[in-house]
């Protein structure tokens, strides 16, 4: 068997961020932060914006549920942002069509609560009225700030009571307090409203994220229900700038007979309240979540109202994913070696190994993990034929990566009771095997050189 040749990782041409730390913990322990997550539909979800930033920036754990990797989802239209770059504002800018689509979503959610069409139209109309004069091209920050200074409208409190969810999921209950939407103004708000918003995120947001957060009522932790360190307005803006055509602004360019064909439409930005908010959370793989709990101790995972212990997580994750023990052992091993493992489903493998993180380098290895005994025997998770191995190796090579087989060798005398605890990893040995394609012409030329 030939000795493997190490190939240095390929650095990406464009790097837009700096490397902070390999793990979300400090060596000295001065600024230690215990993050919180929830198990929702067999997925581990982190809701708190500060926890999301901590876990992803330091170690690149997880991915945004609405983004490719880093949780940076925004409803703002990039083309409109570039078009209105003279407007000094941090609010999203969207088209009128996108805003109408959100109105339809809010209407559908209110209809599910059994409200009649008259009440729904009245609520939405009063909630989405323009706040201040529209912004025209050429107006700067002086107008952008004034355009959204609107006090509580009569329908604001009503829709706030109806929309009990981070994306506008309504709730049939509600109180008739005045100024129920006072916290929606930029820079204003009360502790009571923040608690209501945080409770809405925990209870209602799952209705609008079916791929990840479906059916999660009552699964939030007490800390999240109390609204501690969870500001909804940091996740999704309550106000948006909508590009609309100003009424009566269409006028002919000249007095010719073709005036009707040459109409100039004046576009303005109108500040309105977003009737259907969408929040992005951080989704951790089971291996990443367990590593943060077991190896680093910087994450607490809740199911319902109680945090789960390490042994309970080991049991639950093994039930959710039958080969969890095998994949986690490989994940733990490579994380300890300084690599950043990510899910390798895209290339048909278990893991992809990155140096520092995906923003800096391309993945160097595609890893398949197998748990075997001392004699390299056992029930393999995915038996490979020569044809499937050749196809997998070619797919990996075409992506400028190397295929690695990671064998986790357990002693023959290890019992099932020992495997029921993560402490069994102390007796596990690891052997790595890199698969390369043998090319006869290349081998012949190398022999001729000798």
CATH number at residue 354: 3.40.1350.10
Which of 56, 354, 361, 365 is catalytic? The answer is 354
For residue 396, is it within any domain? yes
| Whole-angstrom distance, CA of residue 24 vs CA of residue 21 | 7
My answer on whether 402 and 292 are in the same domain is no
Is 404 within 8 Å of 434 (Cβ atoms)?
yes
My answer on whether 305 and 444 are in the same domain is no
Is 99 within 8 Å of 270 (Cβ atoms)?
no
User: What radius of gyration do the chain's Cα atoms show?
Assistant: 28
My answer on whether 67 and 81 are in the same domain is no
**Model confidence pLDDT, tens digit, residues 355-403:** 999 999 999 999 999 999 988 887 788 888 889 888 999 999 999 999 9
With 60 as the cut, is the pLDDT of residue 349 above it? yes
Instruction: Kindly tell me the sign of the dihedral angle through the C-alpha atoms of 137, 143, 144, 146.
Output: negative
My answer on whether 331 and 445 are in the same domain is yes
**Model confidence pLDDT, tens digit, residues 176-228:** 333 333 222 333 333 444 444 444 433 333 333 333 223 333 333 334 333 44
CA 100 to chain centre: 25
Angle at CA 347, nearest 5°, toward 346 and 351?
Answer: 85
| 401 a catalytic residue | yes
Give the up-direction half-sphere exposure of residue 343: CA atoms within 13 A in the CB hemisphere: 15
Pairing assessment for the beta strands 351-355 and 339-343 based on DSSP bridges: antiparallel
Tokens (6 digits) for 349: 């493998």
Coil vs helix vs strand at 112: helix
User: How many domains does one find in the chain?
Assistant: 3
How many C-beta atoms lie closer than 10 Å to residue 381's C-beta? Answer: 14
My answer on whether 330 and 358 are in the same domain is yes
My answer on whether 368 and 432 are in the same domain is yes
For residue 143, give the H/E element and its range: helix 141-146
Give me the chain's average pLDDT, please: 77
Is 268 within 8 Å of 135 (Cβ atoms)?
yes
How many C-beta atoms lie closer than 10 Å to residue 283's C-beta? Answer: 23
For residue 294, is it within any domain? yes
For residue 301, give the H/E element and its range: strand 299-303
Is 15 within 8 Å of 242 (Cβ atoms)?
no
My answer on whether 241 and 112 are in the same domain is yes
For residue 28, is it within any domain? no
| 362 a catalytic residue | yes
My answer on whether 242 and 99 are in the same domain is yes
My answer on whether 99 and 53 are in the same domain is no
Which of 63, 325, 332, 401 is catalytic? The answer is 401
Give the range of the structural domain holding residue 367, as residue numbers without chain letter.
322-449
- φ/ψ of 203, rounded to 5, equals -100, -35
For residue 149, is it within any domain? no
Pairing assessment for the beta strands 365-372 and 263-264 based on DSSP bridges: unpaired
* Among 256, 278, 300, residue at a domain's last position: 278
For residue 95, is it within any domain? yes
Is 100 within 8 Å of 157 (Cβ atoms)?
no
Which of 83, 321, 356, 362 is catalytic? The answer is 362
My answer on whether 363 and 335 are in the same domain is yes
List of residues 6+ apart from 43 with CB closer than 8 A: 212, 213, 283
How big is the chain, counted in residues? 450
**Model confidence pLDDT, tens digit, residues 157-181:** 444 444 444 343 333 333 333 333 3
**What is this structure's pTM?**
0.73
My answer on whether 302 and 434 are in the same domain is no
CA 359 to chain centre: 16
Give the pLDDT of residue 213.
Answer: 26
My answer on whether 286 and 427 are in the same domain is no
Tokens (6 digits) for 327: 């994949």
**Model confidence pLDDT, tens digit, residues 16-65:** 889 998 999 876 667 788 999 999 999 999 999 999 999 999 999 999 99
Q: How much is the average pLDDT of 133-157? A: 49
CATH of the domain at 45: 3.40.1170.20
For residue 140, is it within any domain? no
- Name the packing angle between helices 310-320 and 324-336 (round to 10°): 120
Give the pLDDT of residue 427.
Answer: 94
| Whole-angstrom distance, CA of residue 288 vs CA of residue 308 | 16
Q: Which residue matches tokens 């923003």?
A: 359
For residue 160, is it within any domain? no
Q: For 31-35, 58-62, 95-99, 407-411, which range has the lowest pLDDT when averaged over its residues?
A: 31-35
For residue 442, is it within any domain? yes
Coil vs helix vs strand at 444: helix
Is 67 within 8 Å of 303 (Cβ atoms)?
no
For residue 155, give the H/E element and its range: helix 154-162
Q: How far apart are the first and last CA of the chain?
A: 19
């Amino acid at each position: 068997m030939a000795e493997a040749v190490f190939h240095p990782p390929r650095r990406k041409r464009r790097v837009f961020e700096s490397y902070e730390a390999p793990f979300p913990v400090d060596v000295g322990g001065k600024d230690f932060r215990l993050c919180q997550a929830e198990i929702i539909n067999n997925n581990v979800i982190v809701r708190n914006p500060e926890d999301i930033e901590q876990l992803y920036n330091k170690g690149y754990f997880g991915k945004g549920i609405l983004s490719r990797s880093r949780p940076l989802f925004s409803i703002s239209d990039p083309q409109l942002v570039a078009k209105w770059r003279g407007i000094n504002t941090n609010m999203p800018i969207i088209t009128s069509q996108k805003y109408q689509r959100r109105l339809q979503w809010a209407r559908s959610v209110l209809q599910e609560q059994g409200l009649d069409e008259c009440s729904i139209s009245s609520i939405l109309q009063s909630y989405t009225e323009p706040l201040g004069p529209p912004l025209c091209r050429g107006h700067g920050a002086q107008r952008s700030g004034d355009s959204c200074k609107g006090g509580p409208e009569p329908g604001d409190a009503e829709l706030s009571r109806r929309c009990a969810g981070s994306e506008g999921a309504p709730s049939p209950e509600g109180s008739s307090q005045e100024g129920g939407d006072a916290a929606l103004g930029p820079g204003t708000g009360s502790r009571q409203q923040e608690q209501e918003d945080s409770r809405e995120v925990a209870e209602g947001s799952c209705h609008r994220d079916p791929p990840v957060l479906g059916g999660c009522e009552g699964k939030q932790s007490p800390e999240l229900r109390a609204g501690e360190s969870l500001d909804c307005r940091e996740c999704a803006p309550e106000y948006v700038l909508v590009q609309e055509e100003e009424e009566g602004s269409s006028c002919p360019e000249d007095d010719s007979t073709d005036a009707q064909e040459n109409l100039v439409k004046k576009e303005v930005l109108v500040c309105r309240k977003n009737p259907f908010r969408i929040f992005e959370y951080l989704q951790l793989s089971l291996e990443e979540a367990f590593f943060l709990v077991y190896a680093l101790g910087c994450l607490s995972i809740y199911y319902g109202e109680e945090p789960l212990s390490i042994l309970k997580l080991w049991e639950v994750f093994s039930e959710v994913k039958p080969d969890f023990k095998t994949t986690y052992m490989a994940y733990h091993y490579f994380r300890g070696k300084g690599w950043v493992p990510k899910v390798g489903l895209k290339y048909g493998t278990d893991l992809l190994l990155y140096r520092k993180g995906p923003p800096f380098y391309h993945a160097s290895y595609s890893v398949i993990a197998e748990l075997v005994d001392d004699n390299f025997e056992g029930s393999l998770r995915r038996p490979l034929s020569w044809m499937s191995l050749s196809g997998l190796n070619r797919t990996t090579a075409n992506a400028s990566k190397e295929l690695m087989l990671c064998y986790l060798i357990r002693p023959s005398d290890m019992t099932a009771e020992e495997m029921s605890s993560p402490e069994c990893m102390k007796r596990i040995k690891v052997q790595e095997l890199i698969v390369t394609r043998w090319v006869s012409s290349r081998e012949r030329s190398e022999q001729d050189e000798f």
